[in-house]
A and B are shown apart, each in its own frame.
Chain A
Amino acid sequence: MKILVCISHVPDTTSKINFTEGDTKFDTNGVQFVINPNDEFGLTRAMWFKEKQGATVDVVNVGGPETEPTLRKALAIGADSAIRVNTEPTDGFVVAKQLAKVVQDGGYDLVIAGRESIDYNGGMVPGMLARLSNANFVNTCIGLEVEGTAVTAVREIDGGKETVSTSFPLVIGGQKGLVEESDLRIPNMRGIMMARKKPLTVLEPVEASAETASVKFEKPAPKGAVTLIDPDNVEELVNLLHNEAKVI
């Protein structure tokens, strides 16, 4: 089984979000970048397939040289090799096009991506990639088992979950549940040393033009101060929710 894990390189969840150049660019100043949390769950599940079922696991990112430390971290967690497609990820479609080429050339059976990146929250790339590659697609995937050529996946739906059967080639949009929080791995010294020697191939992009463009960012309007209610006068909260906020 050949697995490709898509890694998007995103600001750490605690990052302060600011913009520069007249609010057109994300301000990366002082921001720490990490593996997108949804991808980290996917990568960890891929490690299980590697260790228990002998899969090979490559990781890929579409982005500039600044994303290489994130790819090295994925190698330190245990991926076999990394690919970086050297282009700006200008929109979901451009990224999906690049990934489709990598998938086609690499002959991957299974592509594990995340439900969404926590930066632009597009939730676009995995589905587009699946469609462009003529692969099956399971989104919001919280469980994945492979037995020979049979794949069983569990998908989160509104109000519950659904078990589906499918086959390779397959793309999943994964999230927490693929593995648990406690299964996530912090790279150890040996992993980090080995990661330095593992191949990180830089590929030039294929032609693709963005279908959407970011014009400008805005911050939400600052919030007014909280209205505090005396714990001995809970009735007041009921009144306010009914008469002022009009939500009950």
Chain B
Amino acid sequence: MSVLVYTESEQGTFKKVALEVASYAKAVANQMGTTVTAVTINAEDTSILGTYGVDKVLKVSDSQLEKFNANAYASIIAQAAQKEGSQVVIVSSSSDSKYLAPLLAVDLNAGYASNVVEAPTSTAPFTVKRTAFTNKAFNMTTINTDVKLVALSKNAFGLVENSAAAAAEDFTPSIPEFGVNVQSVDKVTGKVTIADAEIVVSGGRGLKGPENWGMVEELADVLGAATACSKPVSDLGWRPHSEHVGQTGKPVAANLYIAIGISGAIQHLAGINASKVKVVINTDPEAPFFKAADYGIVGDAFEVVPKLIEKLKTFKAQQ
């Protein structure tokens, strides 16, 4: 019966999204008058899950599962859901969770709603609000199967503290063939990723060339932010593709998005609109980004950004 939530970890430590989905699962469990069970794979200390409302933890530990495998992970979560008799299963919107979710949906015969942004408006029928048309609209969707699978959008629900036992027990599911095997992982370490970042600093064609990204990186550094860029910037090879954000790039749902020399084309805005606060720095007061932003500076990035860096450094020093 309990609501099952998959709480992701990396090198043994929970990702922030894991705590967010746990908070969300707790809200759903309250609505349904039930408890929350989390399933973890190779997480070490699971007690923190209690702080976010998890009553019970099914701990899977297996060295074969060190690297993510969608087949195996989906199968493990399905087995956990069956064991718990869960009617609602919740995952995050990380790239791994979005990879495994449709497989899990088939395994559980569960209707699946992705990009969900709020707690269900009703649990019978089970109705959730999700984004559609790349953040240009919301869609109320009902899930009509016995088992429901929900992928929560990043930064949509936030962290909510609770206190629960997080009673851990070992869980040993059967592990299917991988089918897909990781050969190598190429991950930038020590840099904040767009997916995890609270703050994203993004540059557009207004920055004129790749040689001018020093100040973007410095601004990101001061803020502990990830760097991103508009599509033409990655198409021109000024920045790697992995930084391309927008409708056809990565989605951004940060607390703060700072756009420098970006015009604010509809395809760009669609992908970053889920961010809470938007700042634009642009020489052209008519740039469409000003209509989408909360704060704006009409000015030359080459003058404004260095000043902003300096002021932020002073501010941080005072903190």
Asked if B95 and A140 make an inter-chain contact with CB atoms under 8 angstroms apart, the answer reads yes
Q: Given contacts A211-B144, A245-B256, is CB(A158)–CB(B196) below 8 Å?
A: yes
Report the interface size class on chain B: 35 or more
Is B112 part of the binding interface, using a Cβ–Cβ cutoff of 8 Å?
A: yes
Whole-angstrom distance from the CB of B148 to the nearest CB of chain A?
9
Asked if A158 and B186 make an inter-chain contact with CB atoms under 8 angstroms apart, the answer reads no
The closest CB in chain A to the CB of B127 belongs to: A215
Asked if B95 and A211 make an inter-chain contact with CB atoms under 8 angstroms apart, the answer reads no
Whole-angstrom distance from the CB of B33 to the nearest CB of chain A?
24
Is A137 part of the binding interface, using a Cβ–Cβ cutoff of 8 Å?
A: yes
Interface of A, secondary structure class, is mixed
Contact partners of B98 in chain A: CB under 8 A:
123, 139-140
Contact partners of A219 in chain B: CB under 8 A:
136-138
Asked if A160 and B102 make an inter-chain contact with CB atoms under 8 angstroms apart, the answer reads no
With A and B bound together, what is the CA distance between A175 and B126 in angstroms? 32
Contact partners of A137 in chain B: CB under 8 A:
70-71, 99, 103, 179-180
Q: Given contacts A127-B99, A161-B242, A247-B255, is CB(A220)–CB(B183) below 8 Å?
A: no
Is B2 part of the binding interface, using a Cβ–Cβ cutoff of 8 Å?
A: no
With A and B bound together, what is the CA distance between A131 and B104 in angstroms? 9
Whole-angstrom distance from the CB of A153 to the nearest CB of chain B?
8
A80-110, CB < 8 A from B:
91-93, 96
Contact of A128 among B68, B102, B142, B145 (CB under 8 A): B102
The closest CB in chain B to the CB of A40 belongs to: B248
Contact of A163 among B184, B249, B267 (CB under 8 A): B184
With A and B bound together, what is the CA distance between A147 and B200 in angstroms? 39
Asked if A231 and B304 make an inter-chain contact with CB atoms under 8 angstroms apart, the answer reads yes
Asked if A127 and B181 make an inter-chain contact with CB atoms under 8 angstroms apart, the answer reads no
With A and B bound together, what is the CA distance between A123 and B100 in angstroms? 11
Asked if B131 and A231 make an inter-chain contact with CB atoms under 8 angstroms apart, the answer reads no
Is B311 part of the binding interface, using a Cβ–Cβ cutoff of 8 Å?
A: yes
Q: Mark B289-303, 1 if CB is under 8 A from A, else 0.
A: 011111111111001
With A and B bound together, what is the CA distance between A54 and B144 in angstroms? 44
Whole-angstrom distance from the CB of B164 to the nearest CB of chain A?
28
Asked if A92 and B102 make an inter-chain contact with CB atoms under 8 angstroms apart, the answer reads yes
Asked if B256 and A218 make an inter-chain contact with CB atoms under 8 angstroms apart, the answer reads no
New A-B pairs, 11, CB < 8 Å, besides A118-B133, A166-B179: A127-B103, A139-B98, A157-B96, A175-B248, A215-B140, A226-B294, A226-B296, A230-B297, A231-B297, A248-B223, A248-B256
A residues near B (Cβ < 8 Å) are 11, 13-14, 17, 19, 37-38, 91-93, 96, 118-128, 130-132, 136-140, 142, 152-153, 156-167, 173, 175-177, 180-182, 210-220, 223-224, 226-231, 234-235, 237-238, 240-242, 245, 247-248
B residues near A (Cβ < 8 Å) are 68, 70-71, 74, 94-96, 98-103, 105-107, 110-115, 127, 129, 131-145, 179-188, 191, 193-196, 198-199, 223, 231, 235, 241-242, 244, 247-249, 255-256, 266-267, 270, 273, 276-277, 279-280, 290-300, 303-304, 307-308, 311-312, 315
